[in-house]
Amino acid sequence: MKNIFAATLLGASLIATGVAAQEQDSRLKTVLDRGSLLCSGHNGSFLGFAEVDDEGMWKGLDIELCQALAAGLFGTSEGHLEIVPISWAQRWPALQSGDIDVVIKVSGWTQSRDTELNLQFSRPYFIGAFQAMTKTELGAQSIADLDGGTICVAAGTSTERAAATYLQSKSIEAELLTFENGDELRNAYYDGRCDAYVEWAPSLAAARLDAPDGADAHVILSDVIDLEAEGIVVPEGDPKWLDVQNWMLSSLWFAEANGITSENVDDVRANPPSATIEKFLGVTPGYGARLGLPDDWAYNMIKEVGNFAEIYDRSLGDNSPYGLPRGINALYSDGGVFFPLIVD
């Protein structure tokens, strides 16, 4: 009996030690101790997701998720967020080296990345289709009509891999011309260095509207090369930091599902309609403490950036230059695939 009791105590001690070490090693502690979040940006512009406006300020869906995360961690993103411009190929080394704390850069969840690169993905926050855009004057009706041509694509991305696989599977002989920088990629296409440009459909739609010769000079072909689920990426073996990412996304969807916006969040917090929302907004304790955050962390996020619908509308939707419908990226109640987790 003594041996069983001793073994039980030893097991409990090892578990407690492991949990304590895990918390000590978490990127969350590093970020909180530093007092700022280093979040991935883009070397150039990825329209609608990470771009720089006329005043030199970052904007876009990914940038606003970085702002939401910083606001949740520190109460406000102002003075606590640094956007670090990196290329697609640099994002994994930069994350592993600590040059950035998190990759929020429309990064596709693939098996090789999940199993070979010591990365962990959050639940997806965007589903994108890969398609091709070409010059209207070429008269192409499908990607097969580009046989013998040249196609521009971003280097070191799942887009490049998906395009190569699609061309091979359809026996289409086309050269892939790769670029590290998003602006260089689009300009190469605009300048006629390639016959088509493969990218996410939302990004293609944005680039078409932004084309120097006008949107009508370009057509997005109907072929769907592939679908990709995009997630937030953290180093593998850091469940606390991953939990923060997942619950940040869930909180933005929860606020949307319950009609909580940046404009009404103070009123809702002052008069919460349910005990669940009371806890969610930090009126009663628990929602933040379990994550190692202040209990009002979700309130601070929504106060600064709003719910997911508000972020999407500013970045890609009706209140952006692009006017892209959410479609599959809407909440399940609106015909999409996304939903918040349960707040208990």
The separation between the first and the last C-alpha atoms of the chain, rounded to the nearest angstrom, is 39
Look at the chain and report how many structural domains it folds into: 2
134: closest CA among 124, 122, 144?
144
Where does the pLDDT of residue 46 fall: very low under 50, low under 70, confident under 90, or very high at 90 and above? confident
Q: Based on the fold, state whether residues 256 and 144 are members of the same structural domain.
A: no
Q: Based on the fold, state whether residues 60 and 76 are members of the same structural domain.
A: yes
Residue 185 in any domain: the answer is: yes
What average pLDDT does range 317-323 have in this prediction?
Answer: 89
Q: Based on the fold, state whether residues 32 and 148 are members of the same structural domain.
A: no
Q: Last residue of some domain: 187, 206, 228? A: 228
Residue 107 in any domain: the answer is: yes
pLDDT digits (tens, 9 = 90+) for 267-315: 999 999 999 999 999 999 999 999 999 999 999 999 999 999 999 999 9
Q: What is the pLDDT of residue 8?
A: 46
Above 50 in pLDDT, residue 257? yes
What average pLDDT does range 38-55 have in this prediction?
Answer: 90
Residue 9 in any domain: the answer is: no
pLDDT digits (tens, 9 = 90+) for 157-179: 889 999 999 999 999 999 999 99
Q: Based on the fold, state whether residues 252 and 326 are members of the same structural domain.
A: yes
Q: What is the pLDDT of residue 9?
A: 45
Q: What is the pLDDT of residue 1?
A: 52
Q: Based on the fold, state whether residues 106 and 174 are members of the same structural domain.
A: no
Percent of the chain with pLDDT over 70: 93
Q: Based on the fold, state whether residues 318 and 188 are members of the same structural domain.
A: no
Exposure string over 53-84, b if 16+ CB within 10 A, otherwise e: eeeeebbbbbbbbbbbbbbbbbbebeebbebb
Q: What is the pLDDT of residue 3?
A: 54
Q: What is the pLDDT of residue 190?
A: 96
Percent of the chain with pLDDT over 90: 78
Residue 80 in any domain: the answer is: yes
Q: What is the pLDDT of residue 334?
A: 96
Q: What is the pLDDT of residue 100?
A: 98
Task: Read off φ and ψ for residue 228, nearest 5 degrees.
Answer: -140, 135
Q: Based on the fold, state whether residues 169 and 199 are members of the same structural domain.
A: yes
Q: Based on the fold, state whether residues 199 and 156 are members of the same structural domain.
A: yes
Q: How far apart are CA 316 and CA 324, in angstroms?
A: 6
Residue 68 in any domain: the answer is: yes
Q: Based on the fold, state whether residues 49 and 119 are members of the same structural domain.
A: yes
Tokens 């209207």, residue located? 136
Domain extent, residue 250, equals 24-126+229-260+305-334
Q: Based on the fold, state whether residues 201 and 167 are members of the same structural domain.
A: yes
Q: Based on the fold, state whether residues 35 and 153 are members of the same structural domain.
A: no
What average pLDDT does range 102-115 have in this prediction?
Answer: 93
What average pLDDT does range 2-30 have in this prediction?
Answer: 56
Residue 272 in any domain: the answer is: no
Residue 224 in any domain: the answer is: yes
What average pLDDT does range 184-196 have in this prediction?
Answer: 95
205 or 92, higher pLDDT: 92
Residue 156 in any domain: the answer is: yes
CATH of the domain at 65: 3.40.190.10
What pTM was estimated for this model as a whole? 0.81
What average pLDDT does range 100-105 have in this prediction?
Answer: 98
Q: Based on the fold, state whether residues 116 and 249 are members of the same structural domain.
A: yes
Q: What is the pLDDT of residue 23?
A: 53
Mean of per-residue pLDDT scores for the chain: 91
